[in-house]
Amino acid sequence: MILAIKLQDRGAVIYSQIRVGLYNEPFRIFKFRTMRVDAERDGAQWAKQNDDRTTAIGRFMRKTRIDEVPQFWNILKGDMSFIGPRPERPNFVDMIEHDVPFYRYRHLIKPGLSGWAQINYPYGASIDDAREKLSFDLYYLKYASVTLDMLIVLRTVGAMVKGAR
């Protein structure tokens, strides 16, 4: 997989960017690169389903969520947990917080590799999507438990096997 990423366009294999974590603290997240090297030459954009900036190997990695594997380093460092709201980029957080009441509550727990919103809602690429995903994040905040975490893990594994994303 690593060789395929490198050979596709000679770009970096690991991609990193700043995300917003617990208590609005920024941290650097790591992922396998799934998009062209010049994917954001026109500025930051939300990734969307069937994004034309995604490479051929990147589409497979996103579908199976293999691109998220480097985030285990973020979990080991303590920036993330296995389960929680997905961390967002600071510029998008600022924009969403302006339009979506209670959005900052999702930063009361560590962001996660997977979460209730990720398994219940497709790719989000707009303020309206962020609003919808927030309802799932707030549900998780209210009802967090070992049982709910186990359900999220099982549904995440199922999504990986089916290649659903």
* Structure confidence by residue, pLDDT tens digits, 28-57: 999 999 888 888 888 888 777 778 888 888
pLDDT score for 70:
96
Alpha carbons 134 and 106: distance in angstroms, whole number: 8
Tens digits of per-residue pLDDT, 125-159? 889 999 999 999 999 999 999 999 999 999 999 88
DSSP track, 85-129: PPPB-HHHHHHHHHHSTTGGGGGGS--EEE-HHHHHS----SHHH
pTM equals 0.87
Average pLDDT, the chain: 90
Would you place residue 2 in the very low, low, confident or very high pLDDT band (cuts 50, 70, 90)? confident
Handedness of CA 87, 103, 136, 138 (dihedral sign): positive
| Residue (of 60, 67, 102, 62) closest to 85 by Cα position | 102
Tens digits of per-residue pLDDT, 90-125? 999 999 999 999 999 999 999 999 999 999 998 778
